[in-house]
Amino acid sequence: MKRTCLAIILAAGESTRMKSSMSKVLHPVAGRPMIAHVVESLVNASISSAALVLGRDADAVKSAAARNDIELSACLQKERLGTGHAVLAAKDAIAKGYDDILVVFGDTPLLTAAPLLAARQGLADGNDVVVIGFQTADPTGYGRLIVENGALLAIREQKDATEDEKKITYCNGGLMAINGARALELLGKIGNANAKGEYYLTDIVEIVRAEGGKAIAVEAPETELTGCNNRAELAAIEAIWQKRRRHEMMVSGVSMIAPETVFLSFDTQIAQDVLIEPNVVFGPGVTVESGAIIHAFSHLEGAHVSNGATVGPYARLRPGANLGPDSKVGNFCEVKKAEIGAGAKVNHLTYIGDAFVGEKTNIGAGTITCNYDGVNKHITRIGANAFIGSNSSLVAPVSVGDGALVASGSVITEDVPSDAVAFGRARQEIKPGRAKILRERYQAEKAAKKK
């Protein structure tokens, strides 16, 4: 689209019903603030300028919304006098002159580019105001769209609606496009003579018509415009978001056995031919390459899983875990800030943190990299084709060379050269017959006590 556009994001609400110490638009959906989802929909609709209308937590909301592919300005709405008043808080930005002004709400994280593009298309077609509406089974609380012969005559807020108007199920989704050349003039005419005593943005429809302008409504799916007022709605929105993203992933070639038990983040990237077993949680920053398997009950965050690698069941990958091709991190293992080389195996009950594990190395059950001395973190380097015996502690900073072997139960505090064997434990002693002697002594002591 050649036309220029300014999006105005209304986010000055008090968020009273969230019962929260922070603005509702900061509450996360799929691991990032709601406001960031709204901004992403703008970017996806190729909109490059937006003005945020803010109230509480202005600085935090501004930084949560910021990204480098859209120019954001912030305006403070000092008093909350209604949506019409809120849009005018962005007066200076509007005055810069844009073809299209698009008003969106900060609390609709399920919004996609499609309704934004449809609204702008309506302006390009010669309308002055385009409202995105939706059909709903329960219109209570929404502004009703009064449409006649394809023209939008008015939006009637719930409190001002007649009984007949209340029966209308076609509602205002809150998303509106306004002819930029007329926006300030029209917005300036909005008054507050209504049941709530608020400046209703929705009055702009009757105002523009009275001046001979054209207004229409365009329908979009209800989910796209779902707003969030309390935490139950937040959870419902999260569920819709998850369902939508899982579906996108499955149709693009990811297998999920029980998709409803898999939780994704906004930026989770999973390639084709990955299998995700039930009950897996992806925190932010995870990429999984083709052919990998994520077994049940695993939790991944800030991790990269290469081609053909397997994770879990019951594995935890923390930020900086980087699993090489065909490597394996098995049950009850935790990996943090560590490279696991191609074909290496970390199979059971192990913690690998701040470490490098070389190709094809085998880490025995119960191995711990002791990376923290209570003050600083230290690095463990393990070469390729090494073998770490079960129940070993590698006290960092320490290194184990290529092909080296660490005896089971060792506490390794000094570097192990390549191809060496390291014993870091007391040698075994055998005392023939001693067990029998001890057993008889203990039995005698017990019998003496009973008397």
Residue type for position 276: I
The residue annotated as part of the active site, out of 37, 247, 304, 348, is 348
User: Of 157 and 206, which CB lies nearer to Ca ion in the complex structure?
Assistant: 157
- φ, ψ for residue 381, nearest 5 deg: -115, 125
Does residue 104 contact residue 42 with C-beta atoms inside 8 Å?
A: yes
- Is 390 a known ligand-binding residue? yes
CB of 141 to Ca ion, least distance (A): 8
- Is 11 a known ligand-binding residue? yes
27 catalytically annotated:
no
CB of 43 to ligand UD1, least distance (A): 19
- Is 184 a known ligand-binding residue? no
Tell me 120's DSSP state.
H
Token pair of 141 as six digits:
């609380």
Token pair of 308 as six digits:
């053909």
Token pair of 183 as six digits:
């926006």
User: Of 173 and 227, which CB lies nearer to Ca ion in the complex structure?
Assistant: 227
- Is 392 a known ligand-binding residue? no
Burial 385-416 (b: 16+ CB within 10 A, else e): bbbbbbbbbbbbbbbbbebbbbbbbbebeeeb
Q: Which residue is nearest to ligand UD1, using beta carbons? A: 143
Stretch that binds Ca ion, among 34-42, 227-235, 352-360, 427-435 (CB under 5 A): 227-235
Q: How many CA atoms lie within 13 A of 131 on its CB side?
A: 30
User: Of 29 and 171, which CB lies nearer to ligand UD1 in the complex structure?
Assistant: 171
CB of 339 to Ca ion, least distance (A): 48
- Choosing among Ca ion, ligand UD1, none, which partner's interface includes residue 53 (Cβ < 5 to 8 Å by kind)? ligand UD1
Does residue 75 contact residue 11 with C-beta atoms inside 8 Å?
A: no
Using only C-alpha atoms, what is the Rg of the chain? 31
CB of 138 to Ca ion, least distance (A): 14
Centre a 10 Å sphere on the Cβ of residue 186 and count the other Cβ atoms it contains. Answer: 21
Stretch that binds Ca ion, among 1-9, 77-85, 223-231, 320-328 (CB under 5 A): 223-231
Stretch that binds Ca ion, among 203-211, 222-230, 318-326, 366-374 (CB under 5 A): 222-230
- Is 192 a known ligand-binding residue? no
Distance, in Å, from the CA atom of 38 to the CA atom of 22, rounded to the nearest integer, reads 18
DSSP 245-295: HHHHHHHTT-EESSGGGEE--TT-EE-TT-EE-SSEEE-SS-EE-TT-EE-
- Is 143 a known ligand-binding residue? yes
Centre a 10 Å sphere on the Cβ of residue 46 and count the other Cβ atoms it contains. Answer: 14
- Is 200 a known ligand-binding residue? no
Q: Which residue is nearest to Ca ion, using beta carbons? A: 227
SS3 content of the chain, % helix, strand, coil (to 5): 25, 30, 45
CB of 310 to ligand UD1, least distance (A): 45
Site of interaction with ligand UD1 (CB under 6 A): 10-13, 53, 77, 80-83, 85-86, 105-107, 142-143, 155, 157, 171-174, 200-202, 227
- Is 160 a known ligand-binding residue? no
User: Of 241 and 282, which CB lies nearer to ligand UD1 in the complex structure?
Assistant: 241
Tell me 320's DSSP state.
T
Residues 113-152 that bind Ca ion (CB under 5 A): none
User: Of 33 and 227, which CB lies nearer to Ca ion in the complex structure?
Assistant: 227
CB of 87 to ligand UD1, least distance (A): 9
Residue in the structure block whose two tokens are 């054209």: 214
Token pair of 318 as six digits:
């923390």
**Annotated binding residues for Mg(2+), as ranges?**
107, 229
Contact set with Ca ion (CB under 5 A): 227
The catalytic residues are 348
**Annotated binding residues, as ranges?**
10-13, 24, 77, 82-83, 107, 143, 157, 172, 229, 318, 336, 351, 362, 365, 371-372, 390, 408, 425
**Annotated binding residues for acetyl-CoA, as ranges?**
365, 371-372, 390, 408, 425
